Structure 1
Amino acid sequence: MRYIVIGAGAVGGAIGGRLAESGHQVVLVARGAHAQAMRADGLRLDTPDASLHLRVPVVEGPEEVELTPDDVLLLAVKVQDSVAALNAWAHRPVAGGGTAGERLPLLCAQNGVAGERLALRRFRRVFAVCLWLPAQYLTPGRVLAPCAPLTGMLHIGNYPGTGDGRLDEATLRPIADALERSRFLARLTPEVSRWKYAKLLGNLANALEAVGGRIAEDERLAQVYGRVRAEGEATLRAAGISWVSPEEEQALRAGRMDEQELPGGEGSVNSSWQSLRRGTGSIEADYLNGEIVLLGRLHGVATPWNETLQRLANTFAAEGRAPGSLPVPELIAEADHA
């Protein structure tokens, strides 16, 4: 198998780098300065154990790749960038006939729960991935993966579920085995959606920290997150959606993923914070807090805290404001007004 990582930023760079390190064929898809840096000097993947310099093929788009039936596509762009990426890759020809959308497996390694549905409009063989993978991409050519002994944990399953609990073992087992050999826990599960909705509730903090600062450093922010999460849980219950408990999540992570400070890193910063830090002009809040807002509107649940964070995060991204720069009293006043 060859793994084509569409979006070789923090998550994609960490997964692609670890797969390449363990001897698997990998192609990294990136753009601009990041692609240029990796082409010139390779991918630098910093971990608690080593600073790896990996010479991996790098392309900027599907026109630079000859697809084969043995390819696996790993979609690791932010969800707000999914449509452009999916449109670019779905209609590419595969050797022997057919297109990528018709023939190749696509794994959505993304936050939120909307990516798979977007992909299914364009790809027949879509698989959901729930990510526990702290990583940072702040400098072109360099990705930090600060957890050990495992770099991350991935729950993988069919999308949509088959209803009878069956998994496409023929497709997924070799992928999971490759990830297991590459310092990941890769669990195949027919209940991947429960893990993804649990992760979504945790990711509701992304916008909060991106605009207001680290929750661990301010008790007021911790209290705000409690309200934000309570809205999320009430909305999921109204929609009849179940999720894995925090205790079950923690029991699985314990002793397997210890996050460590790495030289040149900026502490424990989430993906939305990193988007503001890099000045990308976009942020994933529409598919994190916005998912709760959407479900709330569909099922009659008020979500003022999530609506406020969605709006503020998008404003920060559009205006190029620095992460964590909104005073906490102003943030609370905004939500109270909503």
Structure 2
Amino acid sequence: MRYIIIGAGAIGGTVGGRLAEAGHDVVLVARGAHHDALRASGLRVSTPDGTRTHRLPVVQHPVDLGELRAGDVLFLAVKTQHCEAAVDAWGGRPVAGGGTAAEVLPLVCAQNGVESERIALRRFRRVYGVCVWLPATHVEPGAVSAAGAPYTGMLHIGRYPTGTDETARLIAADLEQSKIIAPVVPDVMRWKYGKLLSNLANSIEAVTGLITDDAAVELFRRARTEGETVLAAAGIEAVGEQEQKEARGDRIRFEPFDRSERGGGSSWQSLSRGTGTIEADYLNGEIALLGRLHGVPTPVNDALQSVANDFARERRAPGSMPVADLVALVASAGQRGIGPSRRRGNGPGVCATGH
């Protein structure tokens, strides 16, 4: 199988680099300065076992690749806010032997949140979900780093909405050969909802820095409690923290290879690169959406979603808001009654505002 890595950033670049290192056929899809750096100097992947540069085919647009092959796997690793554009761009591409990508090729969704699979299934007939646990960083064009050892990460994979098949098992086998643990599960969305609850911390980390302050820890606890309450109201099952820990066990350790502490997660990295967008609408915003649908107030997640979007739109530096200021902002939003229980049917509310 040939892997088309659509979005060769922290996750896509790391997975693509590991697959290439194991001898698999890989094509990278990237944009802007990252694309130019990959074309000029290759993909530099730094891990605890060394730094390797992979000279791989790189394209910006589907047309640059030409006709797709019948054995291609589209590995979608763009942020969820870019998912629809990617699905539109790749879905209609012709495949050798007949049909289009959307009709015949598997599309693997490796993003935080739970919306990308649903977006993809509108166009693609064969959609696979991936629950990503892979601490990785991409802030410099042409380079990614991942500090997991001896395995780089863990990717649970399964058919969307449920089930498994031979394609999932073949992809998992290739990932396992590439130092990535890849359990094949029939309930991949249960895993992704569990990860979603963890990713509610992303906005806090993005705007205030690594969550070490007691006040930041408490704010995350409140956001997660809202999330758990909303999922229960919606009848959605999520993998618990203990089951996640048991799945990883001691098979993956965090080993900073450059003597540095862990960097920020995916949302922090978006702010660091000044992309102008952030995934908060599909993390905290997913909880807010479900809260409005099921009549559950979500003032903490409402405020976190809004402040993260403000940071991205204004291209503010990651970690530049004191924790006390964020806590005060959330409290102020709650006092103004910005939540579905008090604004249902009244239109938009608050205008404040992972790995």
**What code does the residue aligned with 1:294 have?**
L
Query: Does the CA contact (< 8 Å) of 1:144 and 1:265 recur in 2?
Result: no
Q: 1:186 aligns with which of 164, 182, 185?
A: 182
Measured in 2, the distance between the counterparts of 1:264 and 1:54 equals 24
**What code does the residue aligned with 2:54 have?**
L
Aligned to 1:126: 127
> Within the alignment, does 1:24 sit opposite 2:24 as a pair?
yes
Aligned to 1:285: 280
* Offset from partner CA, 1:219-249 (integer Å, 9 cap, x none): 1100111101000000000001111111111
Aligned to 1:213: 209
**What code does the residue aligned with 2:240 have?**
S
**What code does the residue aligned with 2:39 have?**
R
Percent of residue pairs identical: 59
RMSD: 1.1
Instruction: Structure 2 unaligned segments of length 5 or more: list them.
Output: 334-355
Query: Does the CA contact (< 8 Å) of 1:145 and 1:151 recur in 2?
Result: yes
Aligned to 1:249: 244
**What code does the residue aligned with 1:213 have?**
G
Aligned to 1:297: 292
Measured in 2, the distance between the counterparts of 1:211 and 1:172 equals 37
**Post-superposition shift, 1:255?**
1.6
TM-score by length of 2: 0.92
Query: Does the CA contact (< 8 Å) of 2:10 and 2:144 recur in 1?
Result: yes
SS, match of residue 215 in structure 1: coil
SS, match of residue 48 in structure 2: coil
**Post-superposition shift, 1:297?**
0.3
Aligned to 1:167: 164
Aligned to 1:14: 14
Q: How does 1:184-333 map to 2 (within 5 A)?
A: 184-216=180-212, 218-263=213-258, 267-333=262-328
Query: Does the CA contact (< 8 Å) of 2:43 and 2:53 recur in 1?
Result: yes
**What code does the residue aligned with 1:193 have?**
M
SS, match of residue 285 in structure 2: helix
**Post-superposition shift, 1:264?**
8.8
Measured in 2, the distance between the counterparts of 1:314 and 1:98 equals 39
* Number of equivalenced pairs: 332
* Offset from partner CA, 1:161-214 (integer Å, 9 cap, x none): 2xxxx422x211111110000001111111111110110000000001101221
Q: 1:336 aligns with which of 331, 335, 341?
A: 331
Measured in 2, the distance between the counterparts of 1:266 and 1:122 equals 41
Measured in 2, the distance between the counterparts of 1:39 and 1:213 equals 33
Measured in 1, the distance between the counterparts of 2:8 and 2:175 equals 16
Measured in 1, the distance between the counterparts of 2:75 and 2:241 equals 27
**What code does the residue aligned with 2:141 have?**
P
Query: Does the CA contact (< 8 Å) of 2:152 and 2:180 recur in 1?
Result: yes
Query: Does the CA contact (< 8 Å) of 1:144 and 1:262 recur in 2?
Result: no
Query: Does the CA contact (< 8 Å) of 2:209 and 2:264 recur in 1?
Result: no
Measured in 2, the distance between the counterparts of 1:185 and 1:261 equals 19
**Post-superposition shift, 1:254?**
2.4
Measured in 1, the distance between the counterparts of 2:107 and 2:37 equals 26
Q: How does 1:12-91 map to 2 (within 5 A)?
A: 12-65=12-65, 66-91=67-92
Aligned to 1:158: 159
User: Stretches of 4+ moved more than 3 A in 1?
Assistant: none
SS, match of residue 317 in structure 2: coil
Instruction: Structure 1 unaligned segments of length 5 or more: list them.
Output: none
Query: Does the CA contact (< 8 Å) of 1:136 and 1:265 recur in 2?
Result: no
